[in-house]
Structure 1
Amino acid sequence: MTAQHDFDEIFGRVPLMAILRGMGVDRSVRLAGTAWDLGIDSVEVPLQTEEDERALRELVRLGAERGKLVGAGTIVSPDQITLAQAAGAAYLVSPGLDPIVVRAAQDAGIPILPGVATPTEVQLAQSLGLTWLKAFPATWLGVDWFRHMKGPFPHVRFVATGGIDASNAQEFLDAGVRVVAVGSALEDASQLDRLAALLS
């Protein structure tokens, strides 16, 4: 089994994931706990600062206690892959599609979810052996983008990120998206029940 197939396990059961960007250790811990309590299995911490690295390490530790996987996001160079693995990340997420970064992750044996926004990028990703892709920014692409992509790329599984919350998550899922990502919505008590309903 290749590393990419691991996304079937990482994302296969739950249609929501959490992205905790630049939130610091304490806030990340609090929101990760909210996500896990809701039933969200996967939490991503974008790696852009030393504080992000500390947050990633702490969430990896806490996630292990609950049987939850934590990924590292905003991976734009091979150097970050080593850092993410050392911090215990179970998977990687990139904002765009860089074949050099994809190959480095594959060589390191860690699943990577690169970002795409065009049919050309989706086709290139498939040629690199990828079947799970991040569509970013999702609200800019719009729900119809995903419906159009199902025709030429029926086997691709999309994770939609960027601008999604409880008010529009179901629209993307109805359009064929496998997983939608939320972030600050986890701090809005009025959205938690609606997010939980997506998991039931």
Structure 2
Amino acid sequence: METDDFTTRLRRDRLVAIVRGRDAEASLRTVLTLAEEGIRLIEVSLNTADALTVISRSVNAVDPSIAIGVGTVVSADDARRAQEAGATWIVTPALGGGFEEAVARHVPVLAGALTPSEAVAASAGGASAVKLFPASLGGPAYLRALRDPFPDLPFVPVGGVDARAAAEYFEAGAVAVGVGSPLAGDAPHGGDLAALRQRARDFLSVCRTEAGT
């Protein structure tokens, strides 16, 4: 995936679903369920049990319109292994070796940053978008403050984003939100897939409403 394509997809879909589970098979089922519900940007964290296998199987199982990414990419080796597993985009918790390797490999990267200096460094270093993390530290008001000096930076708040907060972040200028446990719940650990489907629909409703669709 090209960097511009990824940024366009963030702006269009507005939701990055984050899967992080203790059970590999349950994590795979979670990815497939999210895809079935219409979520098209799904991140599998490297903290997931047997993460690379889950990523590879997910890439082979979902429709090509679903873009599988890899999260918690910290080192250059993490970035290499993520791409080899079939991920088409990468998410980092911070700037560092994983970010630099992803950029060098021309893989779109959602780069973790919190401060103004980190956000500028991420953009200058080749990030497709800035993952505002942990967003819960400052909330929508902090994003709004960052947008004043950096109105053109694409920010994606991640960390403690529930459906209500998602709407508030969109109002503050986020291009998309990244959502982990408030969406996935216990599904990646073997929990209720029916409840997961309902949460997915709730989040998609918020994203579509804020997008005006």
Match for 2:159: what amino acid? G
**Among candidates 90, 93, 96, match of residue 92 of structure 1:** 90
RMSD: 2.1
Q: How many residues align?
A: 197
The structure-2 alpha-carbon separation of the partners of 1:186 and 1:103, relative to structure 1 and needing over 3 Å to count, comes to closer
Is 1:175 the counterpart of 2:172 in the alignment?
A: yes
Q: Which runs of 5+ in 1 are unaligned?
A: none
1:31-88 Cα deviation digits (max 9, x unpaired): 223322332110001113661111111111122x352110011111111111111100
Among all aligned residue pairs of Structure 1 and Structure 2, give the percentage whose two residues are the same amino acid: 32
1:197: which partner in 2?
205
Structure 1 residues 48-197: aligned runs within 5 Å: 48=47, 51-63=50-62, 65-98=63-96, 100-184=97-181, 185-187=183-185, 188=195, 191-197=199-205
The structure-2 alpha-carbon separation of the partners of 1:19 and 1:127, relative to structure 1 and needing over 3 Å to count, comes to same
User: Would you say the 8 A contact 1:113–1:134 is kept in 2?
Assistant: yes
User: Would you say the 8 A contact 1:45–1:56 is kept in 2?
Assistant: yes
User: Would you say the 8 A contact 1:77–1:101 is kept in 2?
Assistant: yes
The TM-score normalised by the length of structure 1 is 0.88
The structure-2 alpha-carbon separation of the partners of 1:16 and 1:42, relative to structure 1 and needing over 3 Å to count, comes to same
Match for 1:37: what amino acid? E
CA positional deviation for 1:168 = 2.0
User: Would you say the 8 A contact 1:24–1:52 is kept in 2?
Assistant: no
Secondary structure, aligned partner of 2:50: helix
1:20: which partner in 2?
19
User: Would you say the 8 A contact 2:110–2:128 is kept in 1?
Assistant: no
Q: Residues of 2 paired with 1:131 and 1:44: CA distance?
A: 15
Secondary structure, aligned partner of 2:83: helix
Secondary structure, aligned partner of 1:168: helix
Q: Residues of 2 paired with 1:104 and 1:191: CA distance?
A: 34
Match for 1:48: what amino acid? N
User: Would you say the 8 A contact 1:48–1:74 is kept in 2?
Assistant: yes
User: Would you say the 8 A contact 1:3–1:106 is kept in 2?
Assistant: no
Q: Residues of 2 paired with 1:165 and 1:73: CA distance?
A: 19
The TM-score normalised by the length of structure 2 is 0.83
2:32: which partner in 1?
33
1:92-130 Cα deviation digits (max 9, x unpaired): 1100112x4333222212111110110110121222133
Worse-matched range after superposition: 84-93 or 27-36: 27-36
CA positional deviation for 1:26 = 2.0
Secondary structure, aligned partner of 1:13: helix
> With CA pairs under 8 Å and 6+ residues apart, which has the higher RCO, 1 or 2?
2
